[in-house]
Amino acid sequence: MHAAMTPRAKLALVGKYLLLTALTLTTLIPFLWMLSSSLKYETEVFTIPIQWIPSRFKWNNYSVLFERMPFDQYFLNTLKIALSVTATQLLFCSMAAFSLTKLRYPGRNGILLLFLSTLMVPSQVMLISQYLMVSDMRLLDTHLVLVLLNAFSPFGIFMMVQFYKAMSNDMLEAARIDGANLLQQYLYIMLPIGRSALAALGVLVFITQMNDFMNPMIYLNSADKRTITLAIRALSGRYFTETALQMAGSVCALIPMVALFLTAQKHIINGLAVNGGGGIKG
Taking the model in full, what pTM does it have?
0.82
Q: Give mean pLDDT, residues 189-217.
A: 89
Q: Are 98 and 193 in contact (CB under 8 A)?
A: no
Q: Give mean pLDDT, residues 113-131.
A: 86
**Domain for residue 255, yes or no?**
yes
Q: Are 256 and 210 in contact (CB under 8 A)?
A: yes
**Domain for residue 106, yes or no?**
yes
Residue 279 has pLDDT above 60, yes or no: no
Band (92; pLDDT cuts 50, 70, 90)? very high
Of 2-11, 90-99, 226-235, the poorest mean pLDDT is in 2-11
The CA radius of gyration of the chain, in Å to the nearest whole number, is 23
Residues 76, 45: one domain? Answer: no
14-50 burial: b if 16+ Cβ within 10 Å, else e: eeeeeeeeeeeeeeeeeeeeeebbbbbeeebbeeeee
Residue 81 has pLDDT above 90, yes or no: yes
- Neighbour tally for 246: CB within 10 Å: 22
> Would you state the pLDDT for residue 5?
72
**Domain for residue 265, yes or no?**
yes
Residue 2 has pLDDT above 60, yes or no: no
Amino acid, single-letter form, for residue 260? L
Band (275; pLDDT cuts 50, 70, 90)? low
Query: How far, in Å, are 93, 106, 156, 205 from residue 260 at the CA level?
Result: 20, 40, 18, 12
Q: How many domains is the chain partitioned into structurally?
A: 2
Band (272; pLDDT cuts 50, 70, 90)? low
> Would you state the pLDDT for residue 235?
84
Domain coverage including residue 106: 63-277
Residues 232, 105: one domain? Answer: yes
C-alpha to C-alpha distance for 209 and 82, rounded to whole angstroms:
5
**Domain for residue 5, yes or no?**
no
The phi and psi torsions of 236 (rounded to 5 degrees) equal -105, 115
Of 1-5, 83-87, 111-115, the poorest mean pLDDT is in 1-5
CA angle 221, 85, 68 (to 5 degrees): 40
Q: Give mean pLDDT, residues 249-275.
A: 77
Residue 216 has pLDDT above 70, yes or no: yes
Band (281; pLDDT cuts 50, 70, 90)? very low
Residues 54, 147: one domain? Answer: no
> Would you state the pLDDT for residue 217?
92
Cβ within 8 Å of residue 122, ≥6 positions away: none
